Amino acid sequence: MPEYYLIIILIILALSFDFINGFHDTANAIATCVATRALNPKVAIIMSAVLNFVGAMVSTGVAKTIGGDIVTSPSMVDSVVLIAAIAAAIFWNLLTWKVGLPSSSSHALIGGICGAVIISYGIGAINGDGILTIVSGLVLSPVVAMFCGYIIMTLFYIILRNFSKGQVNNVAKRIQVLSAALMAFSHGSNDAQKSMGIITLALLSGGFIGALEVPVYVKVACALAMSAGTSVGGWNIIRTVGNKIFRMQPVNGLAADLNSAMTIFTATMLHLPVSTTHVVSGSIMGVGWATRFRAVHWNVAYQMVFAWILTIPCTAAVGAIVYLLLYHMGL
């Protein structure tokens, strides 16, 4: 099959991944404000879709990390490898969405790329330092989010201790609209860039562009795909993130949103891809922990952590299998 046909297929798959990522990760931006009834679910989804688009247009640092730091050279990544990687990530996202389990699109994509690259070019094609940096960010970000969520919520309790619970929650519910908007913007600024990096890498390896710089049309296409997916909404995951980890009051939702948005946007400025799912879930756990340790449904948290641990090896295996299938099909 001619190379440009493969690149067209890859672009369609990458935009599909962004669309699925949009409704798969909608919960990250709006679960807390829906759970605390600060916003009507439909209004929350529309707001998230718009701000996901805006956030996706602000930076390309994460895209360059995805496109340039996973493999030792862009020449070692052809369209078939990238198609296998994206297919693995899409499969995992749909599977976890179907069962309502908050899993990481970032982990899924990284795992798919690693599996397809290793089976096609060998372990030497993997950039060890780059992978270590990326995985460190993915692993540490939810831990940082949990402890920072605990600290922020504790500070809230200290500062607001002289006010009644009703007063605090009434004010927090109004402010939470802004914190949820900031969360949606941060989500777009980090997550949409992952597909941008894949498409840009494909265009570079195919000789369609001369440097690893994200073209404007790629930014717009990925931003539109993610915002369109966000508008669909992932209700299964919203229920898990919003209610099953910890039953939040508006002040808890406000603390979780602010903490998540700061963590994600800091990672974006450092050009680090992070899992929005992990960061938000970690924030909610930390906020719940500050309220009362037993208020957190830790059994749900353990199930989520188990799914997170499985994601990279499972998607790596799927990516390798898909690559072998495509290879034997003569692609």
CA atoms within 13 A on the CB side of 210: 0
Distance CA 32, CA 178 (A): 12
Cα separation values, 86 from 21, 94, 174, 188, 296, Å: 12, 12, 39, 19, 34
What confidence score (pLDDT) does residue 238 get? Answer: 60
pLDDT, residue 43, reads 81
Q: What is the pLDDT of residue 90?
A: 92
Amino acid at 218: V
Closest by CA to 44, choosing from 244, 282, 230, 206, is 230
230 burial level (CB within 10 Å; 0-12, 13-18, 19+): buried
**What are the per-10-residue average pLDDT scores of the chain (331 residues)?**
78 89 69 76 79 78 73 76 91 81 78 91 86 85 93 93 87 86 83 81 80 84 83 61 74 90 89 83 91 84 76 92 89 69
pLDDT at 199: 87
Residue 102: its H or E element: none
Length reported for the chain: 331
From CA 300, how far away is CA 37, in angstroms rounded? 22
At residue 36, the pLDDT reads 76
